[in-house]
Amino acid sequence: MRTTAWAVYARPMVWRMLLLGFSAGLPFMLVFSTLTAWLRTEEVSRTAIGFFAWVGVTYSIKVLWAPVVDRVRLPGLTRWLGQRRGWMVLAQLTIMTGLLGMALTDPINDLGRLAALAVMVAFASATQDITIDAFRIESDQVQYQAAMAGTYVLGYRLALLASGAGALFVADGAGWPLAYALMAGLVSVGLIAVAISKEPTHANRLDIETDPLVMAYRARVPGRGVGANIGAWITGAVIAPFVDFWRRLGWMAVPVIALVGLYKVSDISMAAMANPLYIDLGFTLSQIGAISGVFGVAMTITGGLLGGVMVTRFGLMPMLLAGAIGVAVTNLMFAWLATQPPQLWALMITITADNLLVGLSATVFIAWLSGLVSQRYTATQYALLSSLMTLPGKLMGGPSGWIVDQTNYVVFFVYASALGIPAIALALYLMSQPDHLKAGAPAR
């Protein structure tokens, strides 16, 4: 008897990914957008707030320790829970501890401690992302991966609501320490997911010793000593995925990598100043939470769904270009908002346009990135590309508050819009190339 397409959502693992998606999404806003709102309400300088954007760099460099999370066994936890679940629990407990520490920290008198705790939460959160991605891929067959990804994304968005709008509502009524303490309690959702999940088997994981580069290394370096084994591990886990990427794309890897790094610069570099703008204009935390949090997340989901439809209708590369243009243009709407009195309709129009285009461009961009990845090195190469896609924006977002303090919001958001021009130019260039180079077709 043939099962219907909707029957995949009856699988227990599919719905466990809802809980794990929630766990993955919860810390993100708490070390970024929600944190900037807290700092601004405490009258921390915009220059200092801008540099807090560098906390997010942790997510952009997770590829550096991904091989460790993938293969290093944790004493006690790995034997008890397994490789994936053990690392998940370690990351979740670290996130919970960090959030409780932030709740007990005064940002006025101990800003450095708050920053250190935020980095700790971000590092643990990025580690959890690595583990959950691997857990999802290894936990079920290929035909169920789309359904698992769908419930994961839904859980992630619900977590953004809780840690964004939810935290703002709590902070508005009961203060920031209670808001962060409650968010620490919500980390238990991830712990519950680990408790009710089974450790996936590793039978189908790539054996490093069968990699051609490792075999060549073993031929050059005979013996099985500690040094030789470490060299083989580094060759297979770290070097081979990079070599494969460059061999397949050749010199076209240069513009492709440039576009990966620059595509989201315009969007990410301005994000740290969005909440400070709303607050400085006179909007309340509850108004920001309702429109930017609840309504904004709904618009992002809508934009993501629209992106999938538009790619089917118009093709990947035209929509990649459209997304780059759209994100750059919507930054100009923030410049316009900065010239307006605190009117809810103006805030809603700006957030609607921004989140729709962010959701659309994200869907298109992820589809393009997926075409660049080799099936032999999926996890490592995707970790590399997903790290690279946020790193430049995070670095350039650091001085965002300083730019606002030295000029004003209008100048800053026009500047942020202009940062999207290189991505538009690179998308146009790649569109002019042969079809097999546009979306990484050689990766297959």
| Whole-angstrom distance, CA of residue 296 vs CA of residue 316 | 25
pLDDT in the model for residue 375: 56
In terms of Cα–Cα distance, which of 372, 381, 389 is closest to 238? 381
Classify domain 237-444 by CATH number.
1.20.1250.20
pLDDT at 275: 85
How far is it, in rounded angstroms, from Cα 123 to Cα 12?
29
Burial of 132 (0-12, 13-18, 19+ CB in 10 A): buried
pLDDT digits (tens, 9 = 90+) for 322-374: 999 999 999 999 999 999 998 899 999 999 999 889 888 877 787 677 677 67
Indicate the pTM of the whole model: 0.69
Amino acid identity, position 310: M
Sorted by sequence, the CB contacts under 8 Å of residue 3 that are 6+ apart come out as none
Q: To 10 degrees, what angle do helices 188-195 and 83-103 make? A: 160
Per-residue pLDDT, 376: 63
Fold assignment, 11-198: Growth Hormone; Chain: A; (1.20.1250)
- What is the reported pLDDT for 57? 78
Closest among 220, 249, 218, 221 to 236, alpha carbons compared:
218
Provide the pLDDT for residue 442: 41
Distance CA 214, CA 233 (A): 8
- CA proximity to 244, closest of 142, 115, 379, 350: 379
Q: Which two tokens stand for residue 329?
A: 């243009």
CA–CA separation, 6 and 8 (whole Å): 5
Tell me how far apart the terminal alpha carbons of the chain are, to the nearest angstrom.
Answer: 33
Residues of the chain with pLDDT under 50: 1-3, 5, 146, 203-204, 436, 439-444
Rounded Cα distance between 130 and 283, Å, is 37
Domain boundaries, the chain: 11-198, 237-444
Report the distance separating Cα 69 and Cα 92, nearest Å. Answer: 14
Q: Each residue of 300-319: pLDDT tens digit?
A: 777 876 776 677 678 778 98
What pLDDT, on a 0 to 100 scale, did the predictor assign at position 223? 74
Q: Are 39 and 49 in contact (CB under 8 A)?
A: yes
The pLDDT value recorded for residue 426 is 94
Same fold, 11-198 and 237-444: yes
